Amino acid sequence: MLKYARVTGWGKYLPDKVVTNQELEKKVNTSDTWIQTRTGIKERRLAADDEVASDMAIKAAKDALAVAGVKPEQLDLVIVATVTPEMIFPSCASLVQHAIGAKNAAAFDLNAACNGFVSAVSTASQYIGTGTYKKILVVGSEVYSRILDWTDRGTCVLFGDGAGAVVLETGDGPAGFLSFNMGSDGSKPDILYLLGICGAPANKVDDNHYISMNGSEVYKVAVRSMTKSCKKALADAGLTINDVNLLVPHQANKRIIQAVGKKLGLNEDKVFLNVQKYGNTSAASIPIALCEAVEQGLIKDNDNIVFVAFGAGLSWGASVLKWGTGR
């Protein structure tokens, strides 16, 4: 019998340092009005100088385990979605696995940029669905402040640092992930990319180890692909847009989120938004948003929650989750 992967725990971590638009006005040719009009972002969090992706992931993971009531040694697998690990290897997931005491768990990282969390929960759900594993920790953790050109107003105003985590456990339904839809188009790598420090040509590394993005092209593809992916995931789950209680999208840009909500025909009160506080935290944005939606009482048992994200690759994905912890 196919098992459902249900979310039983959730946790988040945001660094203490807050950087407002007004502070960025002093560093780069931009303005609070320009940033808010174009992105909806008012401020973002930046990691401390000695803070790395695994540090933040560990804190979010411990909170998620506490909510789930799961002991670290009960975990079968740890997946960390990140493109900003402090090491290429060992994986960030291995560092997290050791630090939290998940001595019986396998561990690996997943790189799908801003689509990392949706890709990671999709992967984890397959292990649970087949009965291979019963308890899995999924974390999104990013330190984008380390890969930004702080003289480029087109990128440095957009991103922030943070981590979010969920615990997935096996269940017989009806609560759990009902469907996933994933997609990729590798023909447009030049509109959103970051050269690898290790594998890039030697003469490229020093000048090109920051995020490069064509914002207008990203906007068009993001809105189109996220909308299409949501519709397909809902259809696969046997649901319609009228069955959606809350859309929890990747928090990249307020204009993108609003455009997707409008194309889907969702009222604004059914589209969660917190990009104004944290900016784009990439793979961490959806689990952070999920935590806040729960804290605000916006999610209750049997609600149909849709996650959707878009990232470099280009890649995108959506999932439908019927909420219910089983407790």
Q: Where is the domain boundary, 141, 176, 211?
A: 176
What 3-state class would DSSP assign to 264? helix
**Quick one: pLDDT at residue 207?**
64
CB hemisphere CA count around 293 (13 angstroms):
28
Q: Are residues 36 and 66 in the same domain?
A: yes
The DSSP code for 272 is -
Question: Does 39 reside within a domain?
Answer: yes
Domain that holds residue 259: 178-322
CATH code, domain carrying 224 = 3.40.47.10
Residue 327 lies in a domain: no
For residues 94 and 39, state if they share a domain: yes
| 95 and 75 inside one domain | yes
Concatenating the DSSP letter of every residue in 231-242 gives HHHHHHTT--GG
Pair (287, 143) in one structural domain: no
Do 34 and 144 belong together in one domain?
yes
Residues 134 and 213 grouped into a single domain:
no
Q: Are 249 and 226 in contact (CB under 8 A)?
A: yes
d(CA 274, CA 98): 32
**98 is an active site residue:** no
Considering the domain architecture, whether residues 202 and 268 belong to the same structural domain is answered as: yes
Task: State the pLDDT at residue 325.
Answer: 80
Q: Does 203 qualify as catalytic in the annotation?
A: no
Single out the residue in 176, 197, 223 at which a domain terminates.
176
Say how many C-beta atoms besides its own lie within 10 A of residue 168's C-beta.
29
3-class DSSP state of 118: helix
Catalytic-role residue among 181, 250, 253, 304:
250
Q: Verify that 192 and 157 share a domain, yes or no.
A: no
pTM of this prediction exceeds 0.95 = yes
Cα separation, 226 vs 228, in Å, equals 5
- Count the helices and strands in the chain (H runs, E runs): 10, 13
Domain count, the chain: 2
**Which member of 21, 280, 291, 304 is catalytic?**
280
Residue 178 tokens read as: 């009902």
CA atoms of 307 and 320, how far apart (whole Å): 7
- Same domain for 162 and 33, yes or no, is yes
- Residue 106 located in a structural domain: yes
Q: Out of 118, 143, 176, pick the residue that ends a domain.
A: 176
**Domain shared by 42 and 129, yes or no:** yes
Q: Are residues 236 and 129 in the same domain?
A: no
Written as tens digits, the pLDDT of the chain (327 aa) is 578 999 999 999 999 999 999 999 999 999 999 999 999 999 999 999 999 999 999 999 999 999 999 999 999 999 999 999 999 999 999 999 999 999 999 999 999 999 999 999 999 999 999 999 999 999 999 999 999 999 999 999 999 999 999 999 998 878 999 999 999 999 989 999 998 876 666 666 566 689 999 999 999 999 999 999 999 999 999 999 999 999 999 999 999 999 999 999 999 999 999 999 999 999 999 999 999 999 999 999 999 999 999 999 999 999 999 999 876
Residue 136 shares a structural domain with residue 196: no
Catalytic residue (choose from 92, 114, 156, 230): 114
The verdict on residue 80 lying in a domain is yes
Q: Is 244 exposed, middle or buried (0-12, 13-18, 19+ CB in 10 A)?
A: buried
Contact 194, 210 (CB under 8 A): yes
* CA separation for the pair 313, 9 (Å, rounded): 29
114 counts as catalytic:
yes
Residue in the block written with tokens 């790598």: 189
